[in-house]
């Protein structure tokens, strides 16, 4: 693994995530009759907006039975399992962090989705899939860890079929000013590559995509964090929440992200592209 990638994987490695999730899940199960995939959503959808954002993204890419979807930087595979369970698609996820892939594949087995969702450890900058294999691709909060967006999008373009849709939901620069760190994706600026929507669009166009939509989601983000704060004030820390994946300084990371978004420096952006 290249040294930056090792640093990024180190940032996300928890060390005992399996046990932490199993313990929290047992508590959730005792109080909820919801589908297992939904019970896990608080912890396995590691992007701003959680399940709400996942649904928003999926609603825009015309998913249907049998389609092959590539989820770049899949993490624990929450979005992948949601897509497979809701839309009956087959999902291949790729992620740099070995622990996420191992725990995520275990979760897929536990919820009975392992025949439809496969997570593999590897770099999105070096995809091993054959050319023109996938019908759709998604990327939830990954580009902030990858400096060379054009190299990333060239890899994705290669494995997509002509006309395939690609949804990017990343945190992007929407204004000036320094960013406060740590945030969920980086302890400090040296491993953070937050770029403006213009740079994403240019990299997509240069690698054979047509950009169909660019939609900043700052309001969705602030509403998500406000809901999180209100729930914590009323019920305390949830048994399955993003604090499990963000680690001991989770509260500082959340506070910094809220500050950075509230002053208009960054926001999650939904970008839709189609391969020419
Ligand atoms: C904030 S998490 C989002 C995880 C997942 N997409 C989700 O929304 O739950 C960012 C993920 O990107 C992965 N990642 C970062 N750089 C990567 C790369 N070059 N190739 C593959 N995965 C990468 C990390 O390992 C981490 O799991």
Q: Quick: pLDDT tens for 126-164.
A: 999 999 999 999 999 999 999 999 999 999 999 999 999
The Å distance, Cα 75 to ligand 1 centre, comes to: 5
Mutate to test the pocket of ligand 1, among 142, 193, 247 (most ligand atoms within 8 A of CB): 142
Out of 75, 101, 246, mutate this one to test ligand 1's pocket (max ligand atoms within 8 Å of CB): namely 75
User: What percent of the chain clears pLDDT 70, i.e. is strictly above it?
Assistant: 100
User: How far is ligand 1, taken at its centre, from the CA of residue 73, in Å?
Assistant: 4
> Which H or E element spans position 176?
none
Distance CA 74, CA 212 (A): 23
Q: How confident is the model at residue 262 (pLDDT cuts 50, 70, 90)?
A: very high
pLDDT of 2 reads 79
- Per-residue pLDDT reduced to its tens digit, 164-217: 999 999 999 999 999 999 999 999 999 999 999 999 999 999 999 999 999 999
Q: Which of 81, 95, 156, 253 to mutate to test the pocket of ligand 1 (most atoms within 8 A of CB)?
A: 95
- DSSP secondary structure letter of residue 103: H
Compute, in angstroms, the gap from residue 30 CA to the centroid of ligand 1: 30
Would you list the domain boundaries of the chain? 3-275
Q: How many CA atoms lie within 13 A of 118 on its CB side?
A: 7
What tokens were used for 195? 């770029």
Closest CA to 39 of 13, 63, 65, 21: 21
Rounded distance from Cα 141 to ligand 1 centre (Å):
7
The confidence score (pLDDT) of residue 75 equals 98
Torsion of CA 107, 108, 110, 111, to 10 degrees: 120
Q: Ligand 1 atom 27: the closest Cα is on which residue?
A: 75
d(CA 89, CA 91): 6
What is the token pair recorded at 134?
């996938």
What local confidence, expressed as pLDDT, does residue 255 receive? 97
Q: What is the phi/psi pair of residue 41, to 5°?
A: -60, -30
Q: From the CA of 31, how far away is ligand 1's center (Å)?
A: 30
CATH fold of the domain at 3-275? Rossmann fold (3.40.50)
Q: Round to whole Å and give the CA distance between 250 and 229.
A: 13
Average pLDDT, stretch 240-255?
95
Q: Whose CA is nearest to atom 17 of ligand 1?
A: 96
User: What is the DSSP code string of 100-163?
Assistant: HHHHHHHHHHHTT-TTTEEEEE--TTS--SPTT-EEEEEEES-GGG-S-HHHHHHHHHHHEEEE
pTM strictly above 0.95:
yes
Which pLDDT value is given to residue 248? Answer: 85
Closest C-alpha to ligand 1, atom 7: 46
pLDDT digits (tens, 9 = 90+) for 71-99: 999 999 999 999 999 999 999 999 999 99
Bridging pattern class, strands 266-275 and 117-121: unpaired
Query: Is 80 exceeded by the pLDDT of residue 66?
Result: yes
* Ligand 1 pocket residues where CB is under 6 Å: 5, 8-9, 12, 45-47, 73-75, 78-79, 94-97, 100, 123-125, 140-142, 145-146, 184-185
**Do you know the residue count of the chain?**
276
Q: Which of 50, 106, 60 is nearest to 82 (CA)?
A: 50
């Amino acid at each position: 693994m290249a040294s930056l990638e090792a640093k990024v994987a180190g940032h996300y490695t928890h060390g005992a995530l399996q046990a932490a999730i199993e313990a929290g899940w047992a508590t959730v199960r005792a109080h909820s009759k919801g589908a297992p995939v939904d019970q896990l959503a608080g912890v396995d959808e590691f992007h701003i907006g959680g399940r709400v954002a996942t649904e928003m993204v999926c609603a825009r890419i015309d998913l249907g039975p049998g389609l092959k979807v590539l989820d770049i930087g899949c993490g624990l595979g929450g979005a992948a399992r949601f897509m497979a369970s809701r839309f009956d698609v087959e999902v291949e996820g790729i992620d740099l962090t070995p622990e996420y892939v191992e725990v995520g594949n275990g979760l897929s087995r536990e919820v009975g989705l392992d025949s439809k969702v496969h997570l593999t450890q590897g770099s999105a900058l070096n995809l091993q899939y054959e050319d023109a294999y996938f019908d759709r691709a998604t990327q939830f909060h990954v580009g902030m860890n990858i400096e060379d967006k054009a190299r990333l999008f060239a890899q994705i373009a290669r494995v997509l079929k002509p006309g395939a849709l690609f949804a990017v939901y990343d945190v992007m620069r929407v204004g000036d000013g320094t960013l406060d760190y740590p945030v969920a994706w980086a302890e400090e600026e040296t491993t953070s590559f937050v770029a403006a929507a213009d740079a994403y669009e240019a990299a997509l166009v240069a690698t054979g995509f047509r950009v169909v939509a660019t939609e900043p989601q700052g309001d969705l983000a602030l509403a998500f964090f406000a809901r999180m704060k209100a729930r914590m004030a009323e019920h305390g820390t949830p048994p399955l929440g993003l604090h499990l994946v963000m680690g001991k300084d989770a509260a500082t990371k959340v506070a910094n992200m809220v500050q950075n978004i509230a002053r208009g420096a960054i926001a999650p952006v939904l970008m839709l592209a189609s391969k020419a």
